[in-house]
Amino acid sequence: MHLTARSEVVYAPAIRHGKDDMSESQYGRADLGSLHVEARSPLPTRHGSFEVYVFRYDDEPEKEHLAIVSGNLRGASDVPLRIHSECLTSEVLGSLKCDCREQLEFALGYIAKQSPGVVLYLRQEGRGIGLTNKIRAYALQSQGVDTVDANRQLGLPDDSRRYESAAAMLEHLGVRSVRLLTNNPEKVAALRSLGVAVRGQVPVLIEPNIHSRGYLRTKVVRMNHSLPQVAGAYTDAE
């Protein structure tokens, strides 16, 4: 075994602050669980050199979440942050049904250039429904059902991602405030509700391909994402 059996508890449950305490440096208002650093190492990548952390969060003990860090985050403000949920089908298999791989690569490149910054890679495949359910939903989509209705036919929520672990990781890394790389206003709201000081939003605009266009259009029309390059495609296609 190259990993130690005991990991270090780095973040104990937070102190609750009053609702009116909006100070930018504290993530403590949310009731966050304990976080453990399982491993940490430098990681050279095609996008730049990072420090990679493996975290385990008590509320999701089966998941190994990652932080891919560029530069020194401790005490830093307005840090570029991507919170990216695992997408095996696009990132490993090269699926064209979504743009997750392109968004991840954009974020790693952006953050390497705008250092310090961080990508938090959360192991919540398929917007949190898991790989099996995601592939079941793809089967329905291949028969013409859109991503939202496919989930509903399977009795699953539209989006079951959670961000408590991300808030705890940011606290551990000493980040004071962030600029979030996202097109999803609900992600900004979810982080703020956990006490993360989101001071700006950086759009991640990936040109749709023939397979991803329908999915991205659904994100705009049914999931409130802001994707101007897809809005145009929507008008053209309709």
Kindly tell me which of 9 and 131 has the beta carbon lying closer to Zn ion: 131
DSSP-assigned states of every residue in 117-162: EEEEEE--TTTTT-HHHHHHHHHHHTTT--HHHHHHHTT--S----
Say whether 161 is catalytic.
yes
List helix spans (H) across the chain.
88-91, 100-113, 131-141, 147-153, 164-173, 185-193, 213-223, 228-237
Pattern 123-162, binding to Zn ion, x per CB under 5 A?
Answer: ----------------------------------------
How many residues lie near Zn ion (CB under 5 A)?
4
Say whether 29 is catalytic.
no
Pattern 34-73, binding to Zn ion, x per CB under 5 A?
Answer: ----------------------------------------
Asked if 168 and 32 count as a contact pair (C-beta separation under 8 A), the reply is yes
Asked if 107 and 119 count as a contact pair (C-beta separation under 8 A), the reply is yes
Kindly tell me which of 65 and 84 has the beta carbon lying closer to Zn ion: 84
**Cα separation of 49 and 99, whole Å?**
24
- Which of 159, 176, 199, 217 is flagged as catalytic? 159
Q: Which stretch binds Zn ion (CB under 5 A): 35-43, 83-91, 175-183, 193-201?
A: 83-91
Q: Which stretch binds Zn ion (CB under 5 A): 68-76, 80-88, 127-135, 198-206?
A: 80-88
Considering only residues 69, 76, 100, 122, which one is a binding residue for Zn ion as defined by CB under 5 A? 100
Kindly tell me which of 90 and 182 has the beta carbon lying closer to Zn ion: 90
β-sheet with 35-45: strand ranges across: 8-11, 35-45, 48-57, 65-70, 117-122, 79-85, 178-181, 198-202
Closest CB 87 distance from Zn ion, rounded Å? 3
> Using the rule CB under 5 A, is 87 a contact of Zn ion?
yes
What lies within 8 Å, CB to CB, of 232 at 6+ separation is: none
User: Residues with catalytic annotation?
Assistant: 159, 161
